[in-house]
């Protein structure tokens, strides 16, 4: 997941999402669809309260 297409990690991932990571709705959508085993927060512009609500 990133805010722009063709981010480096997207080149080696099986799937990816592009959107505004400051929006809680976007983060919920990605987690609900992908059901990840882990969430590794890397960007400082992410909605920090959202990932811990799962």
Q: How many domains does the chain have?
A: 1
Residue 1 lies in a domain: no
pLDDT tens, residue by residue, 2-45: 888 888 888 888 888 998 878 888 888 888 898 878 776 666 66
Rounded to two decimals, the pTM is 0.60
Angle at 54 between CA 48 and CA 4, to 5 degrees: 50
Residue 47, pLDDT > 70, answer no
- CA–CA separation, 3 vs 22, rounded Å? 9
| 51 pLDDT higher than 60 | no
Answer yes or no: are the C-beta atoms of 3 and 45 closer than 8 Å: yes
**In a domain? residue 3:** no
- Residue 46 pLDDT grade (very low, low, confident, very high; cuts 50, 70, 90): low
pLDDT recorded at residue 26 = 87
Residue 41 φ then ψ, to 5°: -85, 125
Q: What are the structure tokens assigned to 21, written together?
A: 């990571």
Domain annotation covers residue 2? no
The answer to whether residue 17 sits within a structural domain is: yes
Distance CA 11, CA 3 (A): 15
């Amino acid at each position: 997941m990133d805010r722009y297409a063709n981010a480096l990690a997207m080149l080696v991932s099986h799937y990816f999402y592009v959107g505004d990571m400051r929006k809680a709705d976007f983060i919920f959508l990605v987690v609900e669809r992908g059901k990840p085993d882990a969430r590794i927060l890397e960007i400082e512009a992410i909605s920090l309260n959202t990932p811990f609500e799962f």
